[in-house]
């Protein structure tokens, strides 16, 4: 699909070949990025979809196009996933419960985070989207997870992150589990304000943060 200066395509020549974002300064090939820098495929993939988001926000694109771009992205990520090297460090067996907060159905970024964490040896339990705080905390306790990761993409759903931390505090489980937050609107300052254990702007950052929190070697 072409959006303004961007040509965000999944090339399929019988089988999948690549996801290519055509930027004004040249093609960004996800496959090339992946082969040059294994485990870091979140660099090129989100570029096209971010452009779509900016244009949607500016009223230059409409919901059908947003949905189309998201489906393209989802299909591409699913095809790429098997090519991401799996975790080689068998010593790392830390559990992470991951979810998108209640009232929010955005999942592309969360899925990237899940893939990268898994590739780095974490045991990820992905609860999906639109998950109530209580359900996330219950799951984390059942699974004895060390980290809870929550994603929110809208200013209207961000307060659910604070809610989760407040509920965890009331239930007395906050001291056991680390809570990390993320999603495009989440800033370092917001993460601090709500009392989380940190945030990261991309999936690789999320891995580094998780490794730091559990004391695992990068």
Q: Are 78 and 111 in contact (CB under 8 A)?
A: no
7 sits in which H/E element: strand 6-13
Minimum CB separation from ligand B12 for residue 7, in Å? 17
Percent of the chain as helix, strand, coil, to the nearest 5: 45, 20, 35
Q: Which residues are designated catalytic?
A: 104, 106, 157
Burial class of 154 by CB neighbour count within 10 A (0 to 12, 13 to 18, 19+): middle
Q: Does 182 bind ligand B12 (CB under 6 A)?
A: yes
Comparing CB distances to ligand B12, the nearer of 74 and 141 is 74
Least separation in angstroms between CB 151 and ligand B12: 3
Determine which residue in the list 66, 79, 125, 214 makes contact with ligand B12, applying CB under 6 A.
66
Answer for which of 6, 20, 76, 107 binds ligand B12 (CB under 6 A) is 107
How far is it, in rounded angstroms, from Cα 152 to Cα 97? 15
Q: Binding residues for ligand B12, per CB under 6 A?
A: 42, 46, 49-50, 52-53, 56-57, 63, 66-67, 70, 74, 103-110, 112-113, 149-151, 153-156, 180-185, 199-203, 206, 209
């Amino acid at each position: 699909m072409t959006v303004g200066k961007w040509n965000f395509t999944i090339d399929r020549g019988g089988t999948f070949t690549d996801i290519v974002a055509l930027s004004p300064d040249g093609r960004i090939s996800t496959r090339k990025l992946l082969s040059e820098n294994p485990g870091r495929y979140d660099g090129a993939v989100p570029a096209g979809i971010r452009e779509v988001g900016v244009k949607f926000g500016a009223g230059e694109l409409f919901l059908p196009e947003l949905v189309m771009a998201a489906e393209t992205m989802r299909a591409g990520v699913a095809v790429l996933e098997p090519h991401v090297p799996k975790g080689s460090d068998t010593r790392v067996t830390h559990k992470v419960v991951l979810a998108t907060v209640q009232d929010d159905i955005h999942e592309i970024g969360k899925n990237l985070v899940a893939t990268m964490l898994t590739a780095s040896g974490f045991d990820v339990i992905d609860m999906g989207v639109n998950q109530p705080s209580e359900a996330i905390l219950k799951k984390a306790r059942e699974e004895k997870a060390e980290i809870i990761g929550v994603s929110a993409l809208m200013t209207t759903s961000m307060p659910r992150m604070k809610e989760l931390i407040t509920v965890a505090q009331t239930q007395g489980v906050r001291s056991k589990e680390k809570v990390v937050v993320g999603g495009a609107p989440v800033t370092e300052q917001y993460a601090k304000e709500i009392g989380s254990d940190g945030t990261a702007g991309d999936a690789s950052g999320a891995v580094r943060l998780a490794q730091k929190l559990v004391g695992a070697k990068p």
